[in-house]
Amino acid sequence: MKSLLELYEKYVARTYERQPIVPVEGEGVRIRDINGKEYIDFVAGIAVCSLGHCHPEVVRTIKEQAEKLMHVSNLYYIKTQAELAEALAEVTPPSIEKFFFCNSGAEAVEAAFKLAVRYTGRERIVAMRGSFHGRSAAAVGATWNPSYREPFTPLIPKIFDFIPFGDLDAARDTITERTAAVIAEPIQGEGGVNVPPDDFLPGLRELCDDSGALLIFDEIQCGMGRTGKWFACEHWGVEPDIITIAKALGNGFPIGCMGAKPEVMASFSPGDHASTFGGNPLACAVAKTVIRVMKEEKLPQRAAETGSHFKKRLEILSEKHGSVEEARGLGLMLALELKSEEAARKTIDMARERGYLINRTAGKVLRFVPPLIIEKKDIDGLAGTLDQILEEVEK
Ligand SMILES: Cc1ncc(COP(=O)(O)O)c(C=O)c1O
């Protein structure tokens, strides 16, 4: 461990605050570190490994496709890319039928902005306070946290108007005939697992329709079954014009995707956008398998059921402990907001020592985004452990 830390210190950019463990193996909801200590993983690589670590079908697909063909470029027709697009069209909101493939969430968001500007010929984008859309220039420009944006001001397009998440009056005042798109995470992830009021997403849909702006839903974190539906926007029956997907789509194999209504996607012509690696045979084969397994194992339904059990356990903790502000979330995208960042940090460290991986977002919010295959007994184990830890933290 020491020499590894020295290698990090000497050679790796310090862009992350890392917890002091070295995971080397994973299976299902469990991770083993370099010392053989086992953890139950309630982070899942930040809402990525939804089928669990090293799912046998994913591993098999990687092996088989790697032996056949990994990369050819988009100069040719790619079989697994077409098949993945068809599979995505079956699970995304019905009006989303065409897809552009890339390698990460931020790239999917950049593609969405370019498409919106191309389609509308307009220049401004309305984004939400508390949002997170990635770290590339335009994606971070639409990200609320000023400390992520401000050091890079010269790089960031000056096209973003922020409104409070959930505030339809502010949306009405801000969306104009210059607005190309409104972007929102149906449930905010990095911003602290924030669920909007029920009228918000339908209201945004209406305002976009009235003004001719496109509605982009960033489902990178809350999509792919995590909240108990294939996509979180289904909870409110609202369809976007453009959707962004990444994270769980590859279960750990990098892939991102921007989907749109066909008439919107039609405004992209050859040369308008591209990605060398995007939609390569290997990544697409993996994502196809992920969708198939999610369907076979009925993971969205499972996330709804285990998620509601989990949320009840969190609500009990919230009622009992003075250090807890609130329990919130949907499906298996859940959070416990504590009253202080220090308490949140301590809780995470103590949970790790006791064999549970959890993480913190928006300062003092404990976030729970485990693999969707998590079982109630593991949830109960974590809840019991948190109960003890919070008692100690409060002393
Ligand atoms: C909602 C949302 N959008 C975009 C991103 C950026 O994705 P990536 O880190 O793959 O670029 C994230 C990552 O956390 C996210 O949660």
**Domains defined along the chain, listed by start:** 2-54+298-394 (3.90.1150.10), 56-296 (3.40.640.10)
Q: 170 is written with which tokens? A: 């502010």
Q: What tokens does 207 get?
A: 């305002």
**Residue 1 reports pLDDT greater than 70:** no
Residue 259 beta carbon below 6 angstroms from any ligand 1 atom = no
Q: Which two tokens stand for residue 362?
A: 């928006």
Pairing of strands 333-338, 324-330: antiparallel
* CB 134 near ligand 1, within 6 Å: yes
Could you give the CA distance from residue 126 to residue 41 in angstroms, rounded to a whole number?
A: 35
Region label for 330, one of left (φ > 0), alpha (ψ between -120 and 50) or beta (otherwise): beta
- CB of 127 sitting under 6 A from ligand 1: no
Ligand 1 center to 233 CA (angstroms): 17
Residue 299's SS3 state is helix
Q: Whose CA is nearest to atom 8 of ligand 1?
A: 105
Distance separating alpha carbons of residues 54 and 28, to the nearest angstrom: 7
3-state helix, strand, coil in the chain (%, to 5): 45, 20, 40
Q: What is the mean pLDDT of residues 136-150?
A: 97
Distance from Cα 248 to the centre of ligand 1, integer Å: 11
Round to whole Å and give the CA distance between 296 and 183.
Answer: 32
Q: Which atom of ligand 1 is nearest to the CA of 189?
A: 16
Q: What is the pLDDT of residues 19-66, one digit of tens each?
A: 999 999 999 999 999 999 999 999 999 999 999 999 999 999 999 999
CA of 220 to the centre of ligand 1 (A): 6
Kindly state if the Cβ of 189 falls inside 6 Å of ligand 1: yes
For residue 81, the model assigns a pLDDT of 98
Taking only the tens place, the pLDDT of each residue in 241-288 is 999 999 999 999 999 999 999 999 999 999 999 999 999 999 999 999
**Rounded CA gap, 379 and 370, in Å?**
10
CA of 387 to the centre of ligand 1 (A): 31
DSSP secondary-structure letter at 53? B
Pocket probe mutation, ligand 1, options 220, 245, 365, max atoms within 8 Å of Cβ: 220
Non-local CB neighbours of 206 within 8 Å, separated by 6+ positions: none
| Residue 360: φ, ψ to 5° | -125, 140
Mean pLDDT over 201-220 rounds to 98
219 CA distance to ligand 1 middle (Å): 9
Mutate-to-test residue for ligand 1 from 128, 221, 224, 360, highest number of ligand atoms within 8 A of CB:
221
- For residue 308, the model assigns a pLDDT of 98
Distance 258 CA to ligand 1 centre (A): 13
- Residue among 50, 131, 132, 227 whose CB has most ligand 1 atoms within 8 A, to mutate: 132
Q: How many CA atoms lie within 13 A of 344 on its CB side?
A: 22
Find the mean pLDDT for residues 214-225. Answer: 98
pTM for the structure as a whole: 0.98
190 CA closest ligand 1 atom index:
16
Q: pLDDT tens-digit profile of 283-339?
A: 999 999 999 999 999 999 999 999 999 999 999 999 999 999 999 999 999 999 999
Q: Which pLDDT value is given to residue 2? A: 65
133 lines ligand 1 (CB under 6 A): yes
Sign of torsion over alpha carbons 216, 220, 221, 223: positive
Q: Which atom of ligand 1 is nearest to the CA of 256?
A: 10
| Angle, CA of 332, 334 and 340, to the nearest 5° | 160
For 66-120, write each residue's pLDDT tens digit: 999 999 999 999 999 999 999 999 999 999 999 999 999 999 999 999 999 999 9
pLDDT in tens, 153-190: 999 999 999 999 999 999 999 999 999 999 999 999 99
333-338: strand order across its sheet: 324-330, 333-338, 365-368, 359-361
Which atom of ligand 1 lies at the shortest distance from residue 222's CA? 1
Q: What single DSSP character describes residue 367?
A: E
Average pLDDT taken over every residue of the chain: 97
| Residues labelled as active-site residues | 132, 218, 247
Atom 13, ligand 1: which residue's CA is nearest?
Answer: 134
Give yes or no for residue 386 having a pLDDT over 90.
Answer: yes
Kindly give the distance from the C-alpha atom of residue 152 to the centroid of ligand 1, in angstroms, as a whole number: 18
